[in-house]
Structure formats: structure tokens, C-alpha cells
Amino acid sequence: YSPSQKHTQLSTLNFQPNKFAIIVAGGSGSRMNSDLPKQFMPIGGRPVLIRTLEAFRAYSEQLSIILVLPESQFDRWKSLCHHYNLSLAYQLIAGGETRFHPVKNGLSGIEGTEGLVAVLDGVRPFVSSKIIEACFKRAAQEGTAVTCIPLKDSARLVLPDGSNQAVDRAAYRLIQTPQTF
């Protein structure tokens, strides 16, 4: 089935899809010159990753949240959850060696074969319920949805010979998360 055909079939059955959020946070903090991974750094007195999970829980109590971390960070994460009294429900899954593996491993944590999945970078704590809702709605209609923003800076296309030319930034978008399907 193409995503649009599958949606048509599900719509005729009045199907209410399960919704899942896979939140991946595998950073090490190296680009921030820190031993503390950025997902554990506090913003406004609470770790970034806790704020990210809370943003998704604020969207829906029924949303199945899957958190993917490197296994080496599980103890630190559990300590933070205890310290900050994090009580929301989620499933914790070990990541992997490359960027591909955490999402793959998160998908393997989903039971069943039907539903909508949003994948979010765990260090994006300010995602709004409005954006999450729009992504799920568009993915239900079209099969996929990506969050994007227009370019604000000027952009140039660099050609193989080293020359360059201006491009119309209105024709381009920066892709962000969540990415939903």
C-alpha cells in the first residue's frame, strides 16, 4: 500500500490510530565542551530531556512514549528521574552505535502494526502541543509529516567548479523534529 491508500482504508473503518513518540537522546556533550551530555543539562532548573518528555505528555496522556538512550547513560537518567520526581510513563530502550540504530531500536519497542510515530531529538524541549498535533494530523492524512522552518539567512549554491550563486531562500526549509509517519 502507498501511505495514501493505507490512510483511505483506515479512514473507512473509522480507525483511531495508536500514537507513539520515539525520543532519541544519544549525545555526549562533546560539542558543548562538557562531560555532561546536553540532554541532562538543566534549563530553568530541570534537565532538558525531562522537559522534552513532559512536552509530549502535555500533548496527550494516551501517547506511548519511547525514550532511547545509550545504555551507558541509563544509571544517570534513572538518578535524574528520581531526583526530579519524574513520574510519567515511558519505555526506556538502549540506542546503538550510529544515528540509525536509536530510531530502529525505538521502532522495535512498538507493539502492534498500526499507528502513527513521531521521532524527536531529545534536546528539543520546547516543542509545542500545537506542532505535535499538526504533525500527527498531517501524517494521518498524508502518510508522513516533517516539521520545518523557513530560512532566515541568505544561502548560496556552491557549484563543483567553486563558483557560487545566490538562491531564493523562500524556496527552502530547514527540517526539524518531530518527523512523523
- What is the tens place of the pLDDT at every residue in 94-112? 998 887 889 999 999 998 8
Evaluate if residue 85 carries a pLDDT over 90: yes
Q: Which pLDDT score, from 0 to 100, does residue 102 have?
A: 92
Longest dimension (CA), the chain: 57
pTM to 2 decimal places: 0.82
Distances (CA, A) of 147 to 51, 102, 132: 19, 20, 9
- Residue from 121, 116, 147 nearest 134 by CA: 147
Q: Which amino acid is at 37?
A: P
Tell me, what DSSP letter sits at residue 159?
A: P
Rounded Cα–Cα distance for residues 127 and 60 (Å): 13
